[in-house]
Amino acid sequence: MIKPHGSEKLNPLFVYDEKKHHELKKEAESLPSLLLNSAAATNAVMLGAGYFNPLTGYMNIADMLSVAEKLQTTSGLFWPVPIVNRTDDISAIKNAKRIALRDPNVEGNPVIAIQDIEAIEEISTEQLNAITENIFTTLDAGHPGATNFLNLGKYVISGPIQVLNFSYFQEDFPDTFRTAVEIRNEIAERGWNKVVAFQTRNPMHRAHEELCRMAHDRLKTDGILVHMLLGKLKPGDIPAPVRDAAIRKMVDVYFPPNTVMVAGYGFDMLYAGPREAILHATFRQNTGCTHLIVGRDHAGVGDYYGAFDAQTIFDEKVPAGALEIEIFRADHTAYSKKLNKVVMMRDVPDHTKEDFVILSGTKVRKMLSEGKDLPPEFSRPEVAKILMGYYQSQAAK
């Protein structure tokens, strides 16, 4: 199986030893504590689950600047985005060396991790703006990822962490949330060696389904990992439980057994386009996948990135040997009326726009809200039924 990024074996930061886990939970009761923001909490989940291997905790300002500018930490580790714990209020932890980190996403704010503080630094507006522009390409208030990142706090708390739980993800998504460790184990149990991952924050329509099939066939992989984001999205995106149900129905009905593994990971969407595509590749390598499908406007939002910037960045910014995982470059995919099948648009240069079945997101939402069936060329009826139930429930509110 493919090696993890940056180390010979995966080093998740979750404390699996029962005795040690109990001791740390008890210790946390007497430590100064910090209520995290959602970004820092989901960073802890990803570190605990082994997805962010080989990082040992949160970055300092020097590493943030280095990662933003050069895609590597000050020690030379290839990494595409800052992984940080930031806050505006350090009053409770000012002189502390070890602190309990509390989860903002779970009622009662339980301790999610313990952090050894290496430094508490104040980041300047100039530094923060430079990092944001490098990662998101903009400071525009209309960009949800850039705006969120700019507002996470002026103090950067760096240092290693020990993770004690996986926030709400394990409880809310018991059949879907999986750590990188668990995915690696399942890949081995299935006897797969070559695996292609598909990243999604949306339900999968026919085009997505066929794209997975195309990658599977063309790369001759043993299996497909459909890996969905389970964390926070921007307003208007479809909630994770609805996506989960729709994706599972599609896989159950339309893929042969032992072809697809459905799993989810606990992270908030960054909408960082090309940089997030590299992050997606990095942590899919940690799950044991050999390939990642990178499509049109991967991890994008609005018109902030070019249609294929998330592919070309692998040529321009990822040094040879920095990652072992490879990308499968996908074009926009749609149903061809001429050929009666889903195709990549670049493969059919003789087609015009009228030769494809293409629906805008607005049109899809309107049809589903009104109880109208989506064209079978666009969406499987079983999937459309689940989505229709959701949109009609929203319209009734």
Q: Which of 190, 202, 329, 365 is catalytic?
A: 202
In terms of domains, do 117 and 257 share one?
A: no
Domain boundary among 143, 170, 197: 170
Average pLDDT over residues 361-372: 86
In terms of domains, do 162 and 201 share one?
A: no
In terms of domains, do 106 and 193 share one?
A: no
How far, in Å, are 66, 192, 204, 275, 367 from residue 316 at the CA level?
Answer: 17, 31, 30, 12, 41
For 80-139, the pLDDT digits (tens) are: 999 999 999 999 999 999 999 999 999 999 999 999 999 999 999 999 999 999 999 999
Q: Which of 98, 190, 201, 329 is catalytic?
A: 201
Give the burial class of 332: count Cβ atoms within 10 A of its Cβ; 0-12 exposed, 13-18 middle, 19 or more buried: middle
Structure confidence at residue 20 (pLDDT): 98
In terms of domains, do 199 and 141 share one?
A: no
Average pLDDT over residues 167-177: 96
Q: What is the DSSP string of 41-61?
A: HHHHHHHHTTTTTT--EE--H
pTM score, two decimals? Answer: 0.96
What is the rounded CA–CA span in Å between residue 14 and residue 144? Answer: 30
To the query of whether residue 193 is one of the catalytic residues in this protein, the response is no
In terms of domains, do 268 and 353 share one?
A: yes
Domain presence at residue 2:
no
In terms of domains, do 197 and 305 share one?
A: yes
Q: Is the pLDDT of residue 396 over 90?
A: no
Question: Is 164 in contact with 33 (CB distance < 8 Å)?
Answer: no
In terms of domains, do 269 and 363 share one?
A: yes
- As for how many domains the chain has, the answer is 2
For 48-72, the pLDDT digits (tens) are: 999 999 999 999 999 999 999 999 9
Mean of pLDDT over the chain:
96
pLDDT above 70 covers what percent of the chain? 100
Structure confidence at residue 361 (pLDDT): 76
Q: Domain of residue 108: give its range.
A: 18-170
For 258-286, the pLDDT digits (tens) are: 999 999 999 999 999 999 999 999 999 99
Residue 40, domain CATH: 3.10.400.10
> How many CA within 13 A on the CB side of residue 171?
7
To the query of whether residue 286 is one of the catalytic residues in this protein, the response is no
For 199-226, the pLDDT digits (tens) are: 998 889 999 999 999 999 999 999 999 9
Residue 209, domain CATH: 3.40.50.620
Structure confidence at residue 202 (pLDDT): 87
Q: Are strands 223-229 and 260-265 parallel, antiparallel or unpaired?
A: parallel
